[in-house]
Structures are given as C-alpha cells and as structure tokens.
Amino acid sequence: MKEYRQHKFTLPPGATRIILVRHGESRAASPDNPFPLVDGQGDPELAENGRLQAERVGERLRREAIDAIYVTSLRRTHETAAPLAGHLGMTPLVEADLREVHLGEWEGGLFRIKVHENDPIYQQMQQEQRWDAIPGAESREQIQARVGPALARIAGRHPDQTVVAVVHGGIVGHILAHATGAMPFAFNGCDNGSISQVVIDGPRIVVRGFNDTAHLSDLAMDALPT
C-alpha cells in the first residue's frame, strides 16, 4: 500500500526567507536626556543588556546559511547586527525604509515616557490600533507604502536565499499583521533580540515564526514597541 508522509516546509522556488530580528534593548529614555534624532526619529544606542542580546543573536544565527544581513538607518540595528556580521564576515546592507514607525510628536524617547504614564492618547492608540493617534505619527497606510516595497526589493535581490533583517518592534508587528490579515497591533510587542521569520513568495508573505527568544532565556527583556 502506498503511503504519504508529512513533509517539512521547503522554500518555494524563487522565494526568499527573511529572518526578522528585533534590535537589542536600547538605552533608557529620560526627560533630561532625550535620544538624538536621525531624520526626525529617535536614535538611541544599545543598552548593556541590548549588547548582550546582540551577542546571543549572533551566536544563535552564526551557523545558518545566511546570504546577506540588512539593517535600517538607525544605530540600534547596526549595533545589534555587528556580532553576527563579525561571525559571518559580512558587511550589513542598509534598507532605510525598514526603519521604525515614525512617532511624530512623541519621538526622542517621549513615547516610552507616555507609555509608562498610560497617557490618554496612548490608550486611544491601543484601543483604535493605529499609530497616528499620536500627533504627527505615521498611519498604517504610510508604513505599508515604504515597508512593502522594501521587502520586495530585498526579495528581488535574493531569490532562493536566506537573509537576516535587523529591524524594529513596530515593523515586525506591521509585517506579520499585514501578512496574516490580523488586527493591526496583533503582533506588536515582540521582545528585544527576538527572531521572527517570513517567506516572501512573489506577492505572498508566509509567516514562519514569531518572537523566538530561546537564545535569550536567562536575560532580562522588555516589550516596548520601539
């Protein structure tokens, strides 16, 4: 009698596997020491714990068959990618359109302060599941208008390959919610240094994993979106 076994997922021909890494924990925000801005967005460096998370990411992924590493225009992604890039002898490539959600008037670390204060606008943002409840912040449509083409560019450069993209919590959440048709904030809050995975197969995005933190089990982690 002929038998039909279950099979492991395989990459469709021409598709691209993208390992999405959320950057390590960045330094704490404070009213008297705001983050420097790059193109209007907060650009803090990694905290000590974030550097440890970056090292763990590097150890976790160093034996993967990785063809390229991508970072954004913000330094916390460069610093997170550095240990893995060192192990693999690669120079990360910048894809600026994968930068974090622009938080408008709450940039420079103010967002974190407002979150901890449970500000009414933050409550509205969560209830309505839209970033642009914050004055001047990006809408979901504006985020997709840059993130969608950025993923398509990466996939176009790397058919049948695996790449790492070190990005931001809000962007991981956006990509997975868009791919699955879930509520906009359904995947927000992934941990610093966590690993998620998607496969880009033409216009289709297949989610293969979310918020894997096995390599961080003994380190302190937070769940702030930025």
pLDDT in tens, 94-144: 999 999 999 999 999 999 999 999 999 999 999 999 999 999 999 999 999
Interatomic CA distance for residues 58 and 158, integer angstroms = 21
* Domain, as residue range, for 84: 16-101+139-216
Confirm whether 226 is domain-assigned.
no
* Domains in the chain, number: 1
* CATH code for the domain in which residue 76 is found: 3.40.50.1240
Residue 143's nearest CA partner among 86, 61, 225, 51 is 225
Structure tokens at 97: 């359109």
Structure confidence at residue 218 (pLDDT): 82
Is residue 97, in this structure, part of any structural domain at all? yes
Sequence-distant (6+) residues with CB within 8 A of 57 are 21, 24, 80, 83, 84, 193, 195, 215
Is 188 a domain residue?
A: yes
- Token pair belonging to 145: 């208008």
**Per-residue pLDDT at 59 exceeds 70:** yes
Portion of the chain with pLDDT greater than 90, in percent: 94
Which pLDDT tens digit goes with each residue over 157-186?
999 999 999 999 999 999 999 999 999 999
- Asked if residue 121 belongs to a domain, the reply is no
Q: What are phi and psi of 116, to 5 degrees?
A: -65, -25
7-17 confidence digits (pLDDT tens): 899 999 999 99
